Homo-oligomer: A and B are copies of this chain.
Amino acid sequence: MTTFTVLARSSRSAARAGRLTLEHAELETPVFMPVGTQASVKSLSSADVAGLGFRLILANTYHLLLRPGPKVMEELGGIRKFMAWDGAVLTDSGGFQVFSLAKLLKIREEGVRFASHLDGSQLFLTPELAVDMQLALDSDVVMAFDECVRWPADEQYVREATERSFRWTHRSHARFHERRKNANQFFGIVQGGFSEPLRRWSVEQVVALGCDGHAVGGLSVGEPKELGFDTLAATVPLLPEDRPRYLMGVGTLHDIWRAVKLGVDMFDCVLPTRLARHAHVLVPGGHLNLKNATFRSDASPIDPDCRCMTCQSHSRAYLHHLFRAGEVAALRLATLHNLWVYARFMESVRQAVREDRLDELDPSRARCATVPDSPGAVK
């Protein structure tokens, strides 16, 4: 099922602007997905997220498997109904969290035994269960179950993990096609660490399965940034042109800009929401720590040229006070600002690709000043 159309290409890079049709949203790419780990983009309501112009969010299968669990999710008709989210949802497979958040007990060919980070209870996660859970969530995009190896890692281990990840991807793909009910899509994930031959092998295997899109996994796992981008630059050209390419867990606006130039179409990252909860808000050239005493009586908004709800109403002094006073309202107001900046930046990226001037777009000066001509989605 081809639901992705490239509408414009950069003449000076591999960047492209496209349209991606999912079951519950039609999106313009490159697109950024806010992360709704536990069926909640932290600090916001679903209406808030829609109001920022997002039509696609990411949710975490691992967290939702533990709580509220597949039974509740199925009874309630999937994650979109559960969280009253009118847009589309992409779910990761849980692999990343099992290997980073849970207490890992045993990796076997069949799957992974781990202890829940919530209550220590033991679970066994397999590609089949990961897909079943994502189908219980009725995710628009189901991701393959795989292992994300951290850097540095032993070469032999990376090879074994990459091969096993592909076998899990193969099983995920088979389960998906056996059990899917609606117009869900399936994305394979390319692994291979920082080895060019392993990445090439992984791409060949995953692409041969026939996936609706392809993710590049295993980057931003502790490696030096340039090593990650070198690997990305070597991997993306191997992926089919006619399917969306998704770089998992990246990143800053600058990282996104660089990855778009390498031909990436989709992104997710906890950075804007996490920064906001720590009182860090994005401004052209960097970010401000609103807890800093310098903002105590600063009557200006976070960014005088920003048109987000927070900047339209509130001063740095008020936000400083709310953070200092421990008022939870601060978390939402800062998150609304940071995600607004991301949403507007992605609009400017799309526009720059269409006008073939992506190199001129300086992400370090990225502002949220423009009125959204397109709210990040066609419908």
* Residue in B72, B297, B324 whose beta carbon sits within 8 Å of that of A75 in the complex: B297
Say if the beta carbon of A288 comes within 8 Å of chain B: no
Closest B residue by C-beta to A322: B40
Assess whether A82 is in contact with B313, with CB atoms less than 8 Å apart.
no
Contact pattern, A 164-180, Cβ under 8 Å of B = 1, otherwise 0:
00000000000000000
Say which size band chain A's interface belongs to.
35 or more
Among A92-100, A106-114, A249-257, A328-336, the stretch that binds chain B is A328-336
| A309 to B40 Cα, complex, angstroms | 16
Say if the beta carbon of A46 comes within 8 Å of chain B: yes
Assess whether A317 is in contact with B68, with CB atoms less than 8 Å apart.
yes
A72-B296, A82-B317, A318-B84 known; A329-B67 Cβ under 8 A: no
Assess whether B313 is in contact with A72, with CB atoms less than 8 Å apart.
no
Assess whether B39 is in contact with A76, with CB atoms less than 8 Å apart.
no
Assess whether B72 is in contact with A297, with CB atoms less than 8 Å apart.
yes
Assess whether B328 is in contact with A39, with CB atoms less than 8 Å apart.
no
* Smallest beta-carbon distance A347→chain B, Å: 24
Say if the beta carbon of A45 comes within 8 Å of chain B: yes
Say if the beta carbon of A44 comes within 8 Å of chain B: yes
* Smallest beta-carbon distance A265→chain B, Å: 29
Say if the beta carbon of A379 comes within 8 Å of chain B: no
Q: Which residues of B contact A315 (CB under 8 A)?
A: 76, 82, 84
Closest B residue by C-beta to A85: B313
* Residue in B45, B63, B309, B325 whose beta carbon sits within 8 Å of that of A67 in the complex: B325
Contact pattern, A 40-81, Cβ under 8 Å of B = 1, otherwise 0:
101111110000000000000001000110011001110000
Say if the beta carbon of A154 comes within 8 Å of chain B: no
* Residue in B39, B317, B329 whose beta carbon sits within 8 Å of that of A318 in the complex: B39
Assess whether B325 is in contact with A328, with CB atoms less than 8 Å apart.
no
* Smallest beta-carbon distance A227→chain B, Å: 35
Assess whether A329 is in contact with B43, with CB atoms less than 8 Å apart.
yes
Closest B residue by C-beta to A74: B297
Q: In residues 296-312 of chain A, which contact B (Cβ within 8 Å)?
A: 296-297, 299, 309
Assess whether A317 is in contact with B84, with CB atoms less than 8 Å apart.
no
Assess whether B325 is in contact with A84, with CB atoms less than 8 Å apart.
no
Say if the beta carbon of A225 comes within 8 Å of chain B: no
| A318 to B79 Cα, complex, angstroms | 10
Assess whether B75 is in contact with A45, with CB atoms less than 8 Å apart.
no
Say if the beta carbon of A314 comes within 8 Å of chain B: yes
What would be 10 A-B contacts, judged by CB atoms less than 8 Å apart?
A38-B327, A45-B333, A46-B313, A47-B309, A72-B296, A72-B297, A77-B299, A82-B317, A84-B315, A328-B331
Q: Which residues of A contact B (CB under 8 A)?
A: 38-40, 42-47, 63, 67-68, 71-72, 75-77, 82-84, 296-297, 299, 309, 313-315, 317-318, 321-322, 324-325, 327-329, 331-333
